Structure 1
Amino acid sequence: MFIDPQTDRSEHGSAASPALTIVDENDEGILVRGVKPVGTSAAFAQWLHLGVFFRPGLPPDQVIFGVIPTNTPGVTIVAREAYVNDDAANHPLAAMGDELDCAAIIEDVLIPWDCVFHVRNVEHAVLYPIRVFDWHQYYILVRAAVRAELMLGLAMAMADSLGTFQIPEVKVRLAKFIEFHSILRASVVASEEFGFITPGGQFKPDPQTVDTGRAYYLEHYPAMIQELLDLCGRVALMYPSEGQWHDEKLRKWMEPTVTGAHGNGYDRIKMARVIHDLFLTEWGTRQQMFDNFQATPLRMIRFLNMMRWYQTPAGEAVDFARQLCGIEAADTETDAQPDYIKRIDRPANLASATP
């Protein structure tokens, strides 16, 4: 739970912040009070991982990284309304469950020192989350590649059912889904290929490749949704419910309206239900919001990519360009970040390589 409340952060904002804050400290630990407004599935968790994202003006007493058991006295979990739909026949995805985003109200809770990772260093708050999330972002990229594969399959299957697959213009549009999936799959494979073992002995997929793939997904995903819905036409919205389909009086009229070039009408209805659940319901739009903001939104991904220590005017790519141009290597400071950050940003053999 790293997100802070969206309160007045303007220059003249004067209201007391409800963000999690250190209110006392003793030999046992730190006493904290405040709200962490976003924690996906926190209601199902045994531990809460508390942290903070850097922002201008961040007070040192709000720089808290640590863990607490969810059932600690003084911790209250507040869940949003669930978007689960128990009608599995008509809502095949929403019936599977909901991650249930939650807020945590933390009232004067003592976090023991052995559960405190880091406090009060604002500069460190810039570096901490991105390095912790490097592994977290990898599974987000994998999920994006799977989502792209699903969208490709749905687009191809729906075009086949509608009899539009052989239309050259439709084939060109379907090719966009092939490209979308191929680029994301390539990002997953490349991140693994260029991964490395960290000083702590953990394998880390290459962070730069992971974040580049995530940025590509977030930038193109909305357009791919629109492309899929446009290819489907009214099919993704207007189709018989399960009850209507099994009403013989209605079915004799409705079945001919969903009969396509291949497969039977009920198969097309089942595809339409998945597309509708994924992109046209509260459950589905929540997934899109989750993709947009989980860990970091698109703009922040790009900003954090530039925070990698080797993305400087004296980095490897710039050195290569300077050599080609016959210019001496830059004298810009290159080791502004701590050595341990360099060691977990890239493998040693790449960090010290010369073009």
Structure 2
Amino acid sequence: MTVPIKTDSNTSAYGGSALGAYNGARYLESLRDGRNEIWYRGERVKDVTTHPELRGIAESIARIYDMQHDPETRDQMTYTEENGLRCSYSYFLPHSVEDLQMRRKNTEIWVDEVYGMCGRLPDFCASMAVGYYDLRHELSQLDPDLGKNAENYYYFARDNDLCISHSLHDPCMDKSLRPSQDPDRCVRVVKERDDGIIVRGARYNTFGLFSNEIFVMPTYRFIEGEEEFALWFTVPCNAPGLKQIARESFANRGTLDHPVSSRFDEIDSLVIFDDVFIPWERVMLYRQVAAANNLRGGAMNWASYAGTTLTQTRMKLLISVAHLLAATSGTGKRANVVEILGEMCTYYRLLRSSFLYSELQASPSNHGGLYQSEPEPARRAMVTMISEKYIELVEHIGTSSLIFLPTEQDWNQPELKQHLEVYLRGKDTSALDRHKICKLAWDLTGDGFGSRQQLYERLHSGDPAMMLSRAYNTMDLSDGVAMVEKLLDLETPAGKPKQ
């Protein structure tokens, strides 16, 4: 493999000048990189930053990138590297609990600015780059070039503040067949060259239309004989042969009627790898089945830390919307409503407490020694259990007020507005404000956008049953079993004869 050399100057490991933390203008310009295989509604999109149904999220992300240079938030979002570059805390390598907390404060700014709506913010996949870097020694044991590739890519991404998305999940095809039985099921290598590999297949992706590059790493567990599918690599979004077919957008709708979906729809897509060339320096794992199965968590644990931060913001938003629905409808003191709000707050506080505790228990990882919050599979399992329930609880408080809502155009019609101001008013609030609260609740629950958000939150880590199984399988019950054995003086503890 040909490996680029890391430099300590302001020169990217992949060539060219390193520019440090993005601002909004530079980010938007980076998306005008000649990518000509973005497809929406059967048509090629020339520029996602100007397309009426796609540009909203690009503009929202650009605004947050500008905050990296705002004096009020600059020091919370960026830091100065040893090479003199101002870099994003999304790429910061933590060597202490305090370092980890600095990363979280940056993540909190990102997720708060999108109100917990975007599951794959740039900060999320930047954390994966940190995870790859942390795995560099184990990757080097597989092949020295692989570890060097992971290290060099991290420096390249950090020094240029790359906006990265990921493609981890394969299309939902015939799941009764293994990849070896239906090779189209998973991305695979179809040709090996002196300078790299050719890959073919498809993957699901979120935010790829608005990212610079894509991480590709399988979630499927392979068996011997399926080496061609065991691949980790990165690819620029303008690579020849790379196509993205976007789902229908929820944006390009008025902010009064759709306050979050009009601005924060991150757009999912099907990514097609139509014989795409991947240079060796972009390959981080190659044909190692066991490693592909076992090392993935070492990268994803970092991203999960960012993802859980976003989940907390989304939960708090839903609780607050439910609270305002109750307060403005005069039902806030009813026992059943208080019970619902208390249930929502209980879930949030449990998740938040567990998250902060795991941060305080952070220790050097078993891979590369970077400080990592204590992994807790039960947190993700709990989210899969309550994701649908949160939506249901908001609907129980909002009831029919979420359905019988006029539109922005009706409010702009004086003949109608005079009636709306009478018959839509709430308790201690104006009719328009009550309308806005109800519209937000609908956008988050009953609208197609809200349904997508809930489904994504519940499923983005995989099968919920597997999440629950992992919570059980990683639980150390030895002390509890010992208590039962002692209490009952069991002759065959845990159902097994004593040795």
The amino acid across from 2:374 in the alignment is D
Which SS does the other structure have where 1:227 is aligned?
Answer: helix
Cα shift at 1:319 = 5.3
- Segments of structure 2 that go 5 or more residues without pairing to the other structure are 1-166
Aligned residue for 1:130?
297
Cα shift at 1:79 = 1.7
The answer to whether structure 1 residue 207 and structure 2 residue 375 are counterparts is yes
Distance 1:139 1:240 in 2: 37
Distance 2:178 2:324 in 1: 55
Aligned residue for 1:318?
478
Alpha-carbon distance change, 89 to 260 in structure 1, aligned in 2, over 3 angstroms: closer
Aligned residue for 2:398?
232
Aligned residue for 1:96?
263
The answer to whether structure 1 residue 254 and structure 2 residue 414 are counterparts is no
Distance 2:470 2:309 in 1: 20
Map 1:10-89 → 2, pairs under 5 A: 10=176, 16-36=183-203, 38-55=204-221, 59-89=226-256
Question: Percent identity among equivalent residues?
Answer: 24
Cα shift at 1:215 = 1.5
The amino acid across from 1:154 in the alignment is V
- Higher relative CO (Cα under 8 Å, sequence separation at least 6) belongs to 2
Pick the aligned partner of 1:299 from 465, 472, 475.
465
Which SS does the other structure have where 1:207 is aligned?
Answer: coil
Q: What CA deviation, in whole Å up to 9, does each residue of 1:273-317 have, x standing for no partner?
A: 111111111222121222122232422323444675xx5xxxx54
Number of matched pairs: 322
Q: Say if 1:140 and 1:214, in contact at 8 Å, map to a contact too.
A: no
Alpha-carbon distance change, 323 to 306 in structure 1, aligned in 2, over 3 angstroms: closer
Alpha-carbon distance change, 220 to 65 in structure 1, aligned in 2, over 3 angstroms: same
Q: Say if 2:211 and 2:237, in contact at 8 Å, map to a contact too.
A: yes
Distance 1:267 1:138 in 2: 35
The amino acid across from 1:70 in the alignment is C
Alpha-carbon distance change, 136 to 244 in structure 1, aligned in 2, over 3 angstroms: same
Which SS does the other structure have where 2:176 is aligned?
Answer: coil
The answer to whether structure 1 residue 288 and structure 2 residue 444 are counterparts is no
Taking structure 2 as the reference length, the TM-score comes to 0.59
Alpha-carbon distance change, 271 to 106 in structure 1, aligned in 2, over 3 angstroms: same
Distance 1:232 1:12 in 2: 45
Aligned residue for 1:339?
none
Distance 2:418 2:251 in 1: 32
Distance 2:344 2:192 in 1: 54
Aligned residue for 1:182?
349
- Segments of structure 1 that go 5 or more residues without pairing to the other structure are 333-355
Cα shift at 1:12 = 9.5
Cα shift at 1:103 = 2.0
Map 1:156-171 → 2, pairs under 5 A: 156-171=323-338
Distance 2:198 2:228 in 1: 11
The answer to whether structure 1 residue 223 and structure 2 residue 386 are counterparts is no
Q: Say if 2:222 and 2:289, in contact at 8 Å, map to a contact too.
A: no
Aligned-pair Cα RMSD in Å: 2.7
Cα shift at 1:248 = 2.9
